[in-house]
Amino acid sequence: MRKGGIKEKGKGGTCLGEEEEMGHSQTRGRKRDMEEKSEGGACLGSKNEWAADGMDTEAAGFSVPLEHSFEIDDVPRFRMRGSVQLRGGREHAASLWQSPLTEEDRSMLKAVAAVDGLYRIRVPRVSVQTDRQAERQMDGYLTAFLPACSMVESHLSDVITLHTDVTGYLIGVSIVTIPGTCRGAEVEEEVDLEAFNTTLSFMGPVTAPAPETALYIERMEHEMEKKAKNPQEQKSFFAKYWYLILGGAVFLMATSSTQSPPGGGREQS
């Protein structure tokens, strides 16, 4: 399993509050504008990540929008939650940038949790292999869900895993919260539901083991060698314990044979 998780708190305040309905490339553009504007402001947490990439983000990586939806009527209407910034290389280094929930969203999430609604996320079907930029986009999304209450009760601390196939296409997304239960615990809206505490990880296929013949043969040869080296010891071992083996065999034969020894009569006296 290849994991490139980065734990990150979106301390970004309200700087992305209004741009929910945007496509991801647009968002990126706008976001950078915003950062420039609010230098040293509320978006500092996320800015560090961006600053690390500097200006060469276009060349080395790209970002995937992460959208979420929680509605009282349970009809999904996806809005931007954040974006996953992918960088090239085999280790799938990625970082997550996400905006905190607005006040409206917070009360909505609580309301959805109260009616046992769902919290859904989705990501587009893309290839995370950066060298395949041109062909990476495919139509459709990958979706996953969670009961909204567990999102609320875990205080927005979730684990998002992006699953890739052998060629690096995203094939699935999963979201769990820790803890995952819904006990009906009281949650304070302002303090607990403000920012996401997300662990993002990638999971690719592991290579299943093939039958290990080489090691086995090696071991057998080793044993053969050992046997060849000191045959006396081997012999003496059997000579030493032959009665045990014989006894064991006799015992087994006695237990497995169906006829009991005629000892019943003697027991009576």
Partner 1 sequence: MAIFISWFVYFFLLFRFSFAVFEDQVGKFDWRQQYIGKVRFAYFDTQSQASKKLLLATEQNVVASLNSRTGDLFWRQVDKTGPEGQIDTLLFHGQDAVVIAGNGRLLRSWESNIGGLNWEMVLDTGSFQAAALIGVQDVVKYVAVLKKAAISLHYLSSGHQKWVENLPDSDTIQYQSVYSAGGTEVLVLGVVPHSHLTIIAFNIEDGEIMDQRSVDAPWLSSLQPSCAVVGPGSLVCVDAVTASLYVLSLNKEDRAAMQQITLQALGLEVAPGFQPTVLSTQPNPARPASSQWFLQLDLDHYILLQLTGGLISPLRDFKPAFLVSFATSGEKTVAAVLAPKNETSCSVSLFSADSGRRLLDTTVIVHLDPNGGMPEKLYVQAFLKKDDSVGYRVLVQTEDHTLTFLQQPGRVVWSREEALADVVTMEMVDLPLTGTQAELEGEFGKKADGLLHMVLKRLSSQLILLQAWLGHLWKLFYDARKPRSLVKNEVTIETLARDEFNLQKMMVMVTASGKLFGIDSKSGTVLWKHYLRNVQANAAFKLMVQRTTAHFPHPPQCTLLIKDKETGLTNLHVFNPIFGKKSHISPPVLARPVLQTLLLPLMDQDYSKVLLLIDSEYKVTAFPSTKNVLQQLQETASSIFFFLVDSSQGRLSGFRLRKDLSTELIWEVVIPPEVQRIVAVKGKRANEHVHSQGRVMGDRSVLYKYLNPNLLAVVTESTDTHQERSFVGVFLIDGVTGRIIHEAVQRKARGPIHLIHSENWVVYVYWNAKFRRNEFSVLELFEGMELYNSTVFSSLDRPHLPQVLQQSYIFPSSIRTMEATLTEKGITSRHLLVGLPSGAVLSLPKMFLDPRRPEVVSEQSREENLIPYAPEMPIRTEWYINYNQSVSRVRGIYTAPSGLESTCLVVAYGLDIYQTRVYPSKQFDVLKDDYDYVLISSVLFGLFFATMISKRLAQVKLLNRAWR
Please report, as ranges, the residues that interact with partner 1 according to CB under 8 A: 74, 116, 118, 120, 125, 138, 140-147, 150, 159, 161, 163, 165-167, 169, 171-172, 174, 176-181, 203-213, 215-216, 219, 223, 227, 234, 237-238, 241, 252, 256, 258-260, 264, 267-269
- The residue (of 82 and 147) whose beta carbon lies closer to partner 1 is 147
What's the closest the beta carbon of residue 142 comes to partner 1, in angstroms? 6
What's the closest the beta carbon of residue 264 comes to partner 1, in angstroms? 5
User: Exposure of 15 by Cβ count < 10 A (0-12 exposed, 13-18 middle, 19+ buried)?
Assistant: buried
- The residue (of 85 and 161) whose beta carbon lies closer to partner 1 is 161
What's the closest the beta carbon of residue 263 comes to partner 1, in angstroms? 9
- The residue (of 18 and 223) whose beta carbon lies closer to partner 1 is 223
Query: How far apart are the C-alpha atoms of 83 and 103, rounded to whole Å?
Result: 20
DSSP code of residue 19? -
Asked whether 138 and 165 are in contact (CB, 8 A), the reply is no
- The residue (of 34 and 66) whose beta carbon lies closer to partner 1 is 66
What's the closest the beta carbon of residue 213 comes to partner 1, in angstroms? 5
Q: Give, in degrees to the nearest 5, the angle at Cα 133 between 132 and 139.
A: 100
CA 45 from centroid of its chain's CA atoms: 23
Query: How far apart are the C-alpha atoms of 211 and 219, rounded to whole Å?
Result: 14
What's the closest the beta carbon of residue 177 comes to partner 1, in angstroms? 7
H or E element, residue 25: helix 24-37
What's the closest the beta carbon of residue 181 comes to partner 1, in angstroms? 5
Query: How far apart are the C-alpha atoms of 184 and 236, rounded to whole Å?
Result: 71
What are the C-alpha distances in Å from 128 to residues 15, 20, 55, 92, 145?
28, 24, 20, 7, 22
- The residue (of 32 and 222) whose beta carbon lies closer to partner 1 is 222
- The residue (of 40 and 264) whose beta carbon lies closer to partner 1 is 264
- The residue (of 41 and 179) whose beta carbon lies closer to partner 1 is 179
What's the closest the beta carbon of residue 30 comes to partner 1, in angstroms? 28
State the first-to-last Cα distance of the chain, in angstroms, to the nearest integer.
Answer: 72
Q: Quickly count: other Cβ atoms within 10 Å of residue 225's Cβ.
A: 9
